[in-house]
Amino acid sequence: MGLLYQLKDQYKTLSIVGMAKNAGKTTALNYLIEEAMDEGMFLGVTSTGRDGETCDLVTNTDKPKVYLDTGTIVTVPVQLYELAETGLEIIKKTRFGTALGELLICRVADSGYVQIAGPVNTADHRKLCEEIASLGVDLILIDGAIDRKSIAAPETSDAIILATGAVLSRTIRKVVEETVHIVNLYSMDRLEAGPVREMIASEIAGENRITLVKKGGQTQHLDLKTGLGASRFLDEVIDDETTHVYIPGALTQSVIADIHPAKLARVQIVLKDPTRIFIGALPWQQLKKRGFHVCVMEKIEVAAVTVNPFSPEGYSFDHEELLRAMQDGIGDRIPVVDVKLG
């Protein structure tokens, strides 16, 4: 039983997100496309940038191409249409623009290699997926080609498949540690239902400013859009009446460095979603031991993790050892697949 067979009834859109560049994201995408072909699934494929080219435009290294089956729905910008190594039937010219021209929604006429692309803007991407879904596809796969954080945002897709691998570190322990950290962050608790959540959703989030919520429901908006460089100021304004601190921007160690530990343990930090967190595994564990608590308005569903034992730097891990270590680290809650072994 393949991975997509397990997931197809739970999700309609899946984003493939790389832990880092060269983590095996395109390899994972091809693995899933091949599975869909074997299952006879009617697939839609799009991207948050560009993928399928033979050479990485940033690192100048070889990349796996994207092979699509006959009948697959794919999004291709005008300038890449002629570069497809197969026939493409244009279904619709969309109003979504890219650096390579307006996007076309196409049907693959004959199986072959295609360079795919899509809008970077989250709102446009969501609308594009709605148009693809209206064509009756069984599942949409979204290639996170530009930025793993933006494509992981929960409003983009139903769930993500997280691609990780040897590129993260020369030790399996470190690869597993960093991957499990991201999985745990993405699965963190949502802010519980109640007056505070309703207030943030309806009033505070729209302000796009750091806001303190006090006992009794009073709020204090700060003249800060992010917490960067504002750690001491936050320490001064958090008092005994403060219950929650909503931060619309990034959460880094510098944001909370000067906040008294007792205050950090007493208040709840609220974020829009887990992609706003930029704190590594070890410092995060240290913060949690001190009682630090963060919750999110929306968490991210991690549907599966794929592992790639090869690094473009020339080293690799034993397939079985990496797979076993990752499964032990993540546990039974999420499927883990080696995209090289299947």
Say if residue 148's pLDDT is above 70: no
Under a CB-based contact definition with an 8 Å cutoff, are residues 6 and 139 in contact? no
How high is the pLDDT of residue 52?
A: 43
Q: For 211-265, how does the pLDDT look when each residue is reduced to its tens digit (9 = 90+)?
A: 999 998 899 998 876 666 688 889 999 999 999 999 998 899 999 999 999 999 9
Percent of the chain predicted with pLDDT > 90: 54
Beta-carbon contacts of residue 203 (< 8 Å; ≥ 6 apart): 219
Q: For 296-321, how does the pLDDT look when each residue is reduced to its tens digit (9 = 90+)?
A: 999 899 999 999 998 888 899 999 99
Selection from 110, 103, 105, 65 nearest residue 87 by Cα: 110
Q: What pLDDT band is residue 151 in, cutting at 50, 70 and 90? A: low
Give pTM, 2 decimals: 0.85
Q: What pLDDT band is residue 64 in, cutting at 50, 70 and 90? A: low
Spatial separation of the C-alpha atoms in residues 146 and 57, rounded to whole Å: 12
Interval 61-86 mean pLDDT: 84
Strands (DSSP E) along the chain, which ranges?
A: 13-18, 43-47, 50-51, 67-68, 73-77, 88-98, 101-108, 112-113, 116-117, 139-143, 159-165, 211-214, 219-221, 242-247, 268-271, 294-296, 302-308, 336-338
Domains of the chain, CATH where assigned? 3-187+300-338 (3.40.50.300), 195-296 (3.40.140)
Spatial separation of the C-alpha atoms in residues 257 and 308, rounded to whole Å: 36
Say if residue 60's pLDDT is above 50: no
How high is the pLDDT of residue 133?
A: 94
